[in-house]
Amino acid sequence: MSKNSQANNGEHVWRVQVRSAGHLDYWIADYFGGLAIIHELDGSSTLKGDLPDMPAVYGLILQLRDAGIFLLSLKVDRMQCNP
């Protein structure tokens, strides 16, 4: 298994930032595992937070699809955890 495809061993988290069209209701944060929701001045919403591994990232993408949320952008960064 390559280093990039390993499951999370506590050394990394996956920081996600999703912009969607329209303002999302704040209650939907629970549906997305507690990701923060920010209403932007341009009428869009940003979901952001950390996920433990790539399966969680893929799960989020599927949840966005299933909820019918129109995406403007999706950014995922692998972040080193501080010891």
Angle (nearest 5°) at CA 82 between 32 and 35: 10
Q: Which residue has the higher pLDDT, 10 or 19?
A: 19
Return the domain boundaries, the chain.
Answer: 11-80
What's the CATH architecture for 11-80? 2-Layer Sandwich (3.30)
pLDDT at 19: 97
pLDDT at 5: 38
Average pLDDT, the chain: 86
* Edge-first strand listing for the sheet containing 71-80: 36-39, 45-51, 12-20, 71-80
pLDDT in tens, 49-70: 999 999 999 999 999 999 999 9
- Strand partners for 73: 19
| Exposure letters 24-53 (e unless 16+ CB within 10 A, then b) | beeeeeeebeebebeeeeeebbbbebebee
